[in-house]
Amino acid sequence: MPASYYEPLEGSERPAIINQIRDEIRRGTKRLRKHGLDPTVYADPSRSQLLLIKTGDEWMRQQRNKPAPRRLFGDFWFEHELCIMFADTNLGKSVLAVQIGSSLALHTAVGPFANELTQPARVLYVDFELTAKQFEQRYQHPVAGSRHFGHTFYRAELNPRADNPAFYDDRNAYILSALEGAITRTNAGVLIIDNLTCIRSSTERAADALPLMQQLKALKTTYKLSILALAHTPKRNTAKPITVNDLQGSKMLINFADSAFAIGQSQRDPSKRYLKQIKQRSAQQQYGEQNVCTGHLVKELNNLKYMFDGHSTEDEHLQKRTRALQQQQAQELHRQGHGYRHISRVLGISTGTVSKLLAGHTG
């Protein structure tokens, strides 16, 4: 560094480096105050050091006597996990999410899937999908009246009057701030978000998906939350098993999730649904391709819910591949504006076969 850097600036008694240090301190203090902190935070390494370092043995000793995560929805979702549930439109994602949330608030289980909590949970269900009236109609019966969800099941929806650009510079940050406020007001331990695309308008690029998942992970850690986030699937080939590639958006979503599961629709019986584990960290896979959980939607008086009735292989619910089916799917994707490479990827065939299918060849 040149000697002049340590010499006073013209008209100043301080060297340039001292002024730079003072500026950095002022900026740091201002940043801390913005987040309700003061410089004493630096005296606590557990709050100020970004990387916590211990030996493998020390980590093992530290965690040895801590309880294992408890099941919230069987082996699909565990306590303190950020879990993604995804499915195509109109397969009942929201119905299952409400059913899971209500079961946790009522201290019951959904069908055969264990809830290992020892007391009712405080659940915040953030509903970006239904209006209040649509929600009420789902759980209302002219004779039985309204369904009971539990006194600690809270539902939140967007207030259109407050969704005003005058209140924010960044809408995504505004929604996340409102989400954090709702968590603190309800003292929620379980957060269900229906759905991810409403928090951030685009999740297709890693640059958009990564900040979203980091923010959700930060909320999870700060408030010791268990988070279930709902997401969509794009147009998929129903002759192929559901995989991580069927989650709409960047792979950053699934990479940063602790667990994920999908709802599929049987192509043999459109009224039948199945659940399949896609990613898991807290337990071994129980419900993979060879052992999916089957069920269907029912409305019992004021209770719209899933009834689970058994297990099967996923193959039993997939559409059988035929040349005519492939041609139909290729033509539909082409009408939607997709190119040969995209169609090839979705259908699992070569671009040459796509070309023949679109040309009407049966060869």
Tell me the C-alpha distance between 13 and 35, whole Å: 34
Tell me the C-alpha distance between 211 and 2, whole Å: 39
199 Cβ contact list (under 8 Å, min separation 6) = 128, 172, 175, 176, 179, 193, 212
User: Residues, the chain, total?
Assistant: 363
Residue type (1 letter), 221: T
CB 264 within 8 A of CB 292: yes
pLDDT tens over the chain, length 363 residues: 555 555 555 555 777 777 787 888 788 788 878 777 778 877 787 777 888 889 999 999 999 988 889 999 999 999 999 999 999 989 999 999 999 999 999 999 999 999 999 999 999 999 999 999 999 999 999 999 999 999 999 999 999 888 887 888 888 888 888 999 999 999 999 999 998 888 776 666 666 778 888 899 999 999 999 999 999 887 788 888 999 989 887 678 888 899 999 999 999 899 999 999 999 999 899 999 999 999 999 999 999 999 999 999 999 999 876 777 778 878 888 888 888 888 887 777 888 888 888 887 544
- DSSP letter at 319 equals P
CB 260 within 8 A of CB 279: yes
pLDDT of residue 334: 87
Question: Which numeric CATH code is attached to 71-317?
Answer: 3.40.50.300
pLDDT of residue 12: 57
pLDDT of residue 80: 96
pTM of this prediction? 0.79
pLDDT of residue 362: 45
pLDDT of residue 363: 42
Closest Cα to residue 152, out of 219, 99, 90, 103? 103
Give CA torsion, residues 74, 78, 82, 86, to 10 deg.
Answer: 0
254 Cβ contact list (under 8 Å, min separation 6) = 84, 244, 247, 260, 278, 279
184 Cβ contact list (under 8 Å, min separation 6) = 223
CB 203 within 8 A of CB 210: no
CB 327 within 8 A of CB 169: no
Measured between alpha carbons, how far is residue 11 from residues 6, 15, 36, 107 in Å?
15, 11, 37, 72
